[in-house]
Amino acid sequence: MDKKIDLSKSVYELCTEYPQIIDIMKELGFESITNPGMLNTAGRFMTIPKGAKMKNINMEQIKERFQREGFEIKE
């Protein structure tokens, strides 16, 4: 199975499709992603690039991490 991350999808959609993303994102600095309430509210409209910008997390670092975990990035 190909694991593809479409960066235009919401964090909620991606975490529903690939639950392991929650742990990866937590390790990258998105601590609030483990809060189900936050994932179900803000996660429904927040994308990874928007969240990275808000948290000042380098997008290239995020992409590299997902690629190391076997994901293909679609922008």
Mean pLDDT of 46-74: 96
Q: How confident is the model at residue 49 (pLDDT cuts 50, 70, 90)?
A: very high
Q: Specify the CATH superfamily of domain 3-74.
A: SP0561-like (1.10.3910.10)
User: What pLDDT does 2 receive?
Assistant: 83
**If pLDDT is split at 50, 70 and 90, which confidence band does 1 have?**
low
Q: Is the predicted pLDDT of residue 42 greater than 60, yes or no?
A: yes
Query: Does residue 48 carry a pLDDT above 80?
Result: yes
What are the boundaries of each domain within the chain? 3-74
Burial class (CB in 10 A: 0-12, 13-18, 19+), 4: middle
**Does the pLDDT of residue 21 top 80, yes or no?**
yes
Cα–Cα distance measured from residue 27 to residue 5, given in angstroms and rounded to the nearest whole number: 17
